[in-house]
Structure 1
Amino acid sequence: MAETGSTTSTFFTSLSLGALGFDPGFSTVVDLATEFGFDAVEPDLRHLRTLSEQELAKLPDQLADRGLRWGVAGVPVDLSAEAATFAKQLVELEAHAATLAAAGVTRAGTWIRPMSDTLTYRRNFARWVERVALVDEVLAAAGIRFGLEYVGPKTMWSTERYPFVHTLAEVRELLAAVGSSNVGVILDSFHWYTSGETADDIRQLSASQVISVDLNDAPAGLERDEQQDLSRMLPGATGVIDLASFVGALRDIGYAGPVKVEPFNAELRELPVRDAVARTAEALRAVL
């Protein structure tokens, strides 16, 4: 079987079937991750909420028995939502964070909506600083690190009146304004590419500032500014993105966290789930 985890001592590969476009259930995810040599699985909060405290406590050992650990969980809070919605989700987050912590999950993240029709950059920035700090307070108390993923394609951030954070440099400014060592960045090679960034931009980060990594390639035949956020390729599929430089920079800073694939690829979604996982494992192995 493909053993993606054996390719590097720095990263650990994480299987996220949701990111591949499948939802076969948690036990199937664990079976497939084991079969194809992944090191980790993405926590499924919906599944975790169905378990008792005793069942949650047993999960880390059960995963370890299969050679697995946890990757990064999603944060069920929309930081761009209207105030009332955000406030409600923030209240609910404490229970969600407790569930994740009880299962041994230590990383969670969300994405930054890179535009607004109503908020200027400065107003949006101030709101994000405040809201990230509030979410982080809950997650940090539960022992969970918080990652923010920027979205790079111009075809997305230019679609509303006011562009917002969509580059690594801007994320670093946001992190500095929040001022919490518990908050970091989720790096996606696709967003790194569409933002026109280089390996040296990654080397400006410390290893502790990187919470999780997504490895994707980009479709061929499009200019950088024509790339669409929801149309990507498996790592190394086209060579449009210089993944060797991306991965090399992560090695240089000593990153030692999860690496997953999130291609939003229609062709991959049409495959049987086992075949899709096999292709993903093969692509990761080749790139890493």
Structure 2
Amino acid sequence: MPHTSPFGRTLCAMVTPFTPDGSLDLDGAQRLADHLVGGRGGCDGLVLSGTTGESPTTSDAEKSALIRAVAEAVGDRARITAGVGTADTRHTVELARAAEKAGAHGVLVVTPYYSKPPQEDIAEHFRTVADATGIPVMLYDIPGRTGTRIEPETMLRLAEHPRVAGVKDCSNDLLGSSKMIAETGLAYYSGSEEMNLPLRAVGAVGYVSTVANAAGPVLAAALDAHDRGANAEATLHHQRVLPLVELMMAAGLPGTVTAKALLGALGLPGGPVRAPLRAASPDRTTALVKAYENTIAGQA
């Protein structure tokens, strides 16, 4: 059976809404969070200030304000995990402490990027952050962005820390992830929507999804069906959402851009992206809406 987790099960990597002039839109963030964790949103957890949340372009003060606003909006209906990862251990510790103070239930910590530290240095980075707060830590393994994998032996050592509780897995290594799920008590989350069902089948807890900003119920339905033993139904839900996943996540634009374009077209808070990102074209937005409508129609 999958491990239980302090982070939730069906997590949305939530966009950070901005006003038309690019300022932080806290009212929009509260409305979007309420929608995502409501009866039709499909999410029992929110990840704030991750890649999708445009964390490289938001200030430390904005990150804390976002946590406080979303925590107020969702109350006890969802778990809040705050992205605090940077390439600087001291800065990451500061963000983790600020996130805890602002009301986050956990923190998401990415492997330090660009400097490409060796494995023992990576392990020490994560341990230092975990030692600095009293809330659970989710490791973020995404070598395609950071340039460095959290190697299995490193993961095994980190799993011994009492506050290292989970992993957002974007390694695209089903064999390695399966082994870590089997050998550790870490709660694994798919960080790539096409891996949601495969990883769940080998013991992952759930997912952290950008696509869940718009199509959370369909993603959740696949896990729900799997857990009932309705494998054919789970596969159907999984396959139904793949065209939207491909258009949002694997068609040349960052997920932040496609998610905000789709949210805007659906009348939900999102607003513009911050530079260097640029808005999706009208043609891409039209295609996203069509894929979304086909996905939701199939769900109904």
TM-score by length of 1: 0.54
Q: Output the CA distance in 2 between the equivalents of 1:95 and 1:36.
A: 29
Q: Does structure 1 residue 183 correspond to structure 2 residue 164? A: yes
Which of the residues 193, 213, 226 maps onto 2:189? 213
- For residue 38 of structure 1, report the CA deviation from its aligned partner: 2.6
Structure 1 residue 96, shift from structure 2 partner = 0.4
Distance 1:280 1:215, change over 3 A: farther
Q: Is the 8 A contact 2:35 2:41 kept in 1?
A: yes
Structure 1 pair 200/136, CA: closer, same or farther in 2 (3 Å)? closer
- Answer yes or no: is 1:36 the counterpart of 2:19: no
Aligned pair partner of 2:203 in 250, 267, 287: 250
Offset at residue 185 of structure 1 (A): 4.0
Q: Please give the per-residue CA displacement for 1:77-109, whole angstroms capped at 9, x wherever unaligned.
A: 52x33xxxx44x267347504423xx2x32111
How far apart are the structure 1 equivalents of 2:293 and 2:131?
Answer: 35
Q: 1:260 aligns with which of 206, 209, 215?
A: 209
1:91-106 correspondence runs (5 A): 92-93=94-95, 95-100=97-102, 103=103, 105-106=104-105
What pairs up with 1:47-58 in 2 under 5 angstroms? 49-50=64-65
The CA deviation at 1:128 is 2.4
Partner of 1:228: none
Question: Are 2:45 and 2:80, in contact at CA under 8 Å, matched by a contact in 1?
Answer: yes
Structure 2: runs of 5 or more not aligned: 1-6, 50-59, 212-248, 269-288
Q: Distance in 2 between matches of 1:270 and 1:146?
A: 31
Do residues 200 (structure 1) and 178 (structure 2) align? Answer: yes
SS of the residue 1:72 aligns to: strand
Question: Structure 1: which 5+ residue stretches go unaligned?
Answer: 1-9, 158-163, 217-234, 236-240
**Cα distance between partner residues in 2 of 1:106 and 1:281:** 34
One-letter amino acid of the counterpart of residue 249, structure 1: V
Secondary structure in 2 aligned to 1:165?
coil
Q: What letter corresponds to residue 150 of structure 1 in structure 2?
A: D
Q: Distance in 2 between matches of 1:138 and 1:29?
A: 30
Which of 130, 133, 144 pairs up with 2:124?
Answer: 130
Q: Would you say the 8 A contact 1:93–1:138 is kept in 2? A: no
Q: 1:275 aligns with which of 258, 266, 279?
A: 266
Deviation at 1:15, TM superposition (A): 2.8
In 1, the alpha carbon distance for the partners of 2:73 and 2:129 equals: 29
| CA drift at 1:259 | 3.8
Structure-2-length-normalised TM-score: 0.52
- Residue 110 of structure 1 deviates from its aligned partner by 1.6
Alignment match, 1:150 = 141
How far, CA to CA, are the matches of 1:27 and 1:209 in structure 2? 30
Shift of 1:39: 2.4
1:12 partnered with 2:9? yes
Q: Quick one: distance in 2 between partners of 1:271 and 1:18?
A: 11
- What CA RMSD, in Å, does the superposition of the two structures yield over aligned residues? 4.6
Q: Distance in 1 between matches of 2:155 and 2:98?
A: 27
Q: How far did 1:71 drift?
A: 3.3
Q: 1:116 to 1:282 in 2, by over 3 A?
A: farther
1:70 pairs with 79, 82, 85, which one? 79
Q: Provide the residue aligned with 1:224 in structure 2.
A: none
